[in-house]
Amino acid sequence: MMDYEQLITSAVESAKGIEYESFTTSLRLPESAAKEEENVFKRDGIIGKEALKTRMGREVREKIEKISGKKMDLNGDIVFKFDLDSSTVGIEIKPLFLLCKYRKLVRGISQTRWDKYDSSVEGFIVDAAEELYGCTNAFLHGSGREDVDVRMLGDGRICVVEIVEPRKRSVDTKMLEERVREISQGAVELRVIRQVGNEYVWITKEAHFDKEYEAEVEFSGEIDEEMLGRITAIRAVEQRTPLRVKHRRADMVRKKHVLNIEVCEKNEKRIKFRIKTEAGTYIKELISGDDGRTRPSFAEAAGCTAKCTSLDVINVYEYISEWW
């Protein structure tokens, strides 16, 4: 077995290409030493005795602090993983988590990477992050998602960007924002709010926020003021899982609330609406009725077919970005 002090020196040397301010350690003892200690504890008891792994772990951390000048922290930037049985050490680089908002200004871009589409919001962020952070990957964890043909406007959608194994950590996030804008040729904008812990991934994905949309709707017949009144009065809605997503989601009926509908522009059979709803409402189906799977709908209220020809998310009423 290699002298473990030599192993510590080797570990610190191997981390020189990684930017970190703090570290933690994990330690695996040789099987023979662990077995011998277990036998001693069984024979003599454990009262007043410090476990070998505890003592050696403390010594390892103290020596790393002395050699590297870095601080020990249970939530350190990297983990030195010592295996004293095989005389090896590995380094785990902890991910970075950035609370962000993104705006998608062009249709035809998916939120996350998908073989079906050439471009994604996540893909542009990955390219920028790999360049700036020297990371091996990155992930976008969004609070919900808009369809590929829907723009995300307004102040943007709250999300967490996870940067995997970053070899650089002290990157000016303004540079990340600028590179995303450049790489996407202005199709996507990212705004970094602050660095957060990994718990924000769960918080962001599980949160449910009211949303506001602008929808252009084409009706098959003329729409008079009485019909518009019935449409803008829609509030309680029952939506069965839409036909377009039934293959990947449970077929069930969801009760949703429409908070407000108002007319923005009217041009014969084409009308632009502003629609505010609670989270999880299917807007395209609220308009079309989805063959009776959503009731009431714009089509039912108008007494003719209704099709959403363009849709934008213009506001997500989130509150996470205001947390300290």
Verify that 132 and 164 share a domain, yes or no: yes
Asked if residues 192 and 178 have their Cβ atoms less than 8 Å apart, the reply is no
Verify that 190 and 279 share a domain, yes or no: no
Among residues 72, 93, 114, the one where a domain terminates is 93
Verify that 237 and 193 share a domain, yes or no: no
Verify that 136 and 147 share a domain, yes or no: yes
Asked if residues 96 and 162 have their Cβ atoms less than 8 Å apart, the reply is yes
pLDDT (0 to 100) of residue 137 = 98
Average pLDDT, the chain: 92
**Helical pair 52-68 and 31-44, crossing angle rounded to 10 deg:** 130
Residue 310 has a CB neighbour count (10 Å cut-off) of 14
Residue 36 above 70 pLDDT? no
The answer to whether position 322 is within a domain reads: no
Verify that 131 and 143 share a domain, yes or no: yes
Output 166 or 40, whichever has higher pLDDT: 166
Among residues 148, 172, 207, the one where a domain terminates is 207
- Looking from the CA of 315 toward its CB, the CA atoms found within 13 Å total 10
pLDDT (0 to 100) of residue 174 = 98
The answer to whether position 321 is within a domain reads: no
pLDDT (0 to 100) of residue 102 = 98
Of the listed ranges 75-79, 121-125, 140-144, 247-251, the one predicted with least confidence: 247-251
Among residues 147, 181, 207, the one where a domain terminates is 207
pLDDT confidence tier of residue 270, bands split at 50, 70 and 90: very high
| Surface-to-core class of residue 79, CB atoms within 10 Å of its CB (0-12 exposed, 13-18 middle, 19+ buried) | middle
Residues 6+ apart with CB under 8 A from 217: 270, 271, 272, 273, 287, 298, 306, 307, 308, 309
The answer to whether position 223 is within a domain reads: yes
Residue 37 above 80 pLDDT? no
Asked if residues 112 and 140 have their Cβ atoms less than 8 Å apart, the reply is yes
The answer to whether position 323 is within a domain reads: no
Verify that 101 and 79 share a domain, yes or no: no
pLDDT 10s digits, 13-28: 999 999 999 999 998 8
The answer to whether position 114 is within a domain reads: yes
Assign residue 130 the CATH number of its domain: 3.30.70.2510
Share of the chain above pLDDT 90, in %: 82
Verify that 182 and 267 share a domain, yes or no: no
Assign residue 32 the CATH number of its domain: 3.30.2300.10
The answer to whether position 311 is within a domain reads: yes
CA distance 118 to 95: 26
pLDDT (0 to 100) of residue 84 = 83
Span 145-157, average pLDDT: 97
Span 230-234, average pLDDT: 98
The answer to whether position 70 is within a domain reads: yes
Asked if residues 26 and 34 have their Cβ atoms less than 8 Å apart, the reply is no
The answer to whether position 299 is within a domain reads: yes
Active-site residue, 147 included: yes
Q: Which domain holds residue 198?
A: 96-207
Residue 126 above 90 pLDDT? yes
Verify that 219 and 286 share a domain, yes or no: yes
Residue 170 above 60 pLDDT? yes
Span 96-102, average pLDDT: 98
Residue 48 above 50 pLDDT? no
Q: Which of 83, 147, 155, 210 is catalytic?
A: 147
pLDDT 10s digits, 292-322: 999 999 999 999 999 999 999 999 999 888 7
| 267 backbone dihedrals φ, ψ, rounded to 5° | -140, 90
Number of domain units in the chain: 3
Residue 141 above 90 pLDDT? yes
pLDDT (0 to 100) of residue 253 = 97
Instruction: Determine the length of the chain.
Output: 324
Verify that 197 and 268 share a domain, yes or no: no
CA distance 268 to 266: 6
Read off the DSSP letter of residue 94. P
pLDDT confidence tier of residue 1, bands split at 50, 70 and 90: very low
pLDDT (0 to 100) of residue 46 = 52
Q: Is the peptide bond before 242 cis (omega within 30 degrees of 0)?
A: no
The pTM assigned to this predicted structure is 0.91
Span 55-60, average pLDDT: 87
Span 95-123, average pLDDT: 96
Residue 324 above 80 pLDDT? no
pLDDT (0 to 100) of residue 256 = 97
